[in-house]
């Protein structure tokens, strides 16, 4: 299907192992993805705390496992396999997976069915949605740079929350020469799917000789409000932020934006 995004050159800032899903959505609309991995996911320097938490969970030591990203699921799958453990058939364990992609991976890699699949990760809204009873034991594996908002919101509801570092988010590398392409006016859209992609995009762009003035006029698209806030705080003008905070919702909103504004 060719539409308003046909021929648009779109910077994909997702990690290399995550980029294909967005590329497919863009290519289906005739857009040209430009790879520029701005984040990479690496294991924690010391996995002993995570391993201990997984052993505890595998023996019924928690009531809820909250998984907020596909990255978390991938890391847990690897650690469980390394430890010879499984979370299948753990009595009383309920799973929350934020977003359908995360839920799908939970089923594929962990063999678990998510009891709740909220569309977006908004800390207070998620805590209100779960309505956990006081004393409920929650395991929350997350990135080393994750904010404490969700853990704090759950704890305020009376849950006993254990947060553990599942992975580190670091600056990515490789891909297209975006500073050069931006200087030549060869970039139409830059897509950000997390605050980390914003921060590390700017770190890469600046470090590779980019001139931020060359970003003026490029359409900035953010998957959700937190990502948008990070972009705005860094002086980027955001044109697109969908109501549905998914890759599909973001690309559809981009197409609507160009249809409405007729930007060439």
Q: Specify the range with the lowest mean pLDDT, choosing from 27-36, 52-61, 80-89, 97-106.
A: 97-106
Number of domains in the chain: 2
**Does residue 54 sit in the same domain as residue 97?**
yes
Residue 257 has pLDDT above 80, yes or no: yes
238 plus 194 within the same structural domain? yes
Residue with tokens 């294909």: 20
Q: Does any domain span residue 3?
A: no
H or E stretch covering 168: strand 160-171
pLDDT at 128: 78
At 127, give phi and psi (nearest 5°): -60, -40
Query: 170, 185, 215: which is the final residue of a domain?
Result: 170
Question: Is residue 1 situated within a structural domain?
Answer: no
Q: Is the pLDDT of residue 2 over 70?
A: no
Structural domain range at position 250: 9-38+173-261
Same domain, 76 and 123: yes
Residue 237 has a CB neighbour count (10 Å cut-off) of 12
- In-domain check, residue 247: yes
Q: Are residues 91 and 115 in the same domain?
A: yes
Q: Is 43 among the domain residues?
A: no
Burial class (CB in 10 A: 0-12, 13-18, 19+), 157: middle
Place 100 in a pLDDT band, splitting at 50, 70 and 90: confident
1 pLDDT more than 60: no
pLDDT of 163-211, one tens digit each?
999 999 999 999 999 999 999 999 999 999 999 999 999 999 999 999 9
Q: Is there a domain that residue 4 lies in?
A: no
95: helix, strand or coil? strand
Together in a domain, 162 and 187 = no
The answer as to whether 111 is a domain residue is yes
Q: 76 and 31 share a domain?
A: no
What is residue 96's three-state secondary structure? strand
Q: Give the domain-ending residue among 141, 170, 199.
A: 170
Q: Are residues 166 and 254 in the same domain?
A: no
* pLDDT score for 129: 82
Q: Residue 233 burial (CB < 10 Å; 0-12/13-18/19+)?
A: exposed
Task: Tell me whether residue 2 is in a domain.
Answer: no
Residue that terminates a domain, selected from 155, 170, 185: 170
Residue 99: pLDDT band with limits 50, 70, 90 = confident
Same domain, 30 and 79: no
In a domain, 235, yes or no: yes
82 and 139 in a single domain? The answer is yes
Residues 62 and 141 in one domain: yes
Task: Report the CATH number that the domain containing residue 59 is assigned in CATH.
Answer: 3.40.50.10090
Output 230 or 3, whichever has higher pLDDT.
230
Q: Are residues 121 and 76 in the same domain?
A: yes
The pLDDT mean for the chain works out to 92
Residue-wise pLDDT for 16-72, tens only, equals 989 999 999 999 999 999 999 999 998 888 999 999 999 999 999 999 999 988 899
Q: Look at residue 237 and tell me whether its pLDDT is greater than 60.
A: yes
Based on the domain organization, do 73 and 117 belong to the same domain? yes
């Amino acid at each position: 299907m060719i539409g308003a995004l046909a021929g648009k050159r779109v910077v994909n800032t997702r990690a290399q192992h995550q980029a294909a899903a967005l590329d497919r959505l863009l290519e289906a609309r005739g857009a040209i993805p430009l790879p520029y991995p701005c984040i990479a996911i690496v294991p924690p320097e010391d996995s002993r705390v995570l391993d201990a938490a997984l052993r505890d969970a595998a023996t019924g030591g928690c009531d809820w496992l909250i998984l907020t990203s596909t990255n978390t699921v991938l890391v847990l799958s690897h650690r469980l396999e390394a430890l010879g453990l499984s979370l299948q058939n753990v009595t009383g364990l309920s799973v929350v997976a934020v977003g359908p992609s995360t839920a799908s991976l939970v089923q594929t890699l962990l063999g678990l069915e998510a009891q709740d699949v909220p569309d977006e990760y908004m800390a207070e809204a998620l805590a209100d949605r779960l309505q956990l009873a006081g004393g409920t034991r929650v395991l929350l594996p997350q990135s080393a740079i994750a904010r404490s908002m969700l853990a704090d919101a759950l704890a305020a509801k009376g849950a006993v929350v254990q947060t553990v570092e599942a992975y580190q988010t670091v600056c990515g590398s490789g891909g297209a020469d975006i500073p050069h392409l931006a200087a030549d006016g060869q970039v139409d859209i830059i897509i950000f799917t997390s605050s980390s992609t914003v921060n590390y995009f700017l770190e890469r762009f600046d470090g590779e000789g980019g001139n931020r003035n060359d970003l003026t006029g490029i359409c900035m698209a953010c998957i959700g409000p937190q990502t948008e806030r990070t972009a705005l705080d860094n002086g980027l003008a955001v044109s697109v932020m969908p109501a549905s905070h998914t890759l599909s919702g973001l690309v559809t909103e981009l197409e609507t934006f160009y249809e409405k504004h007729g930007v060439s």
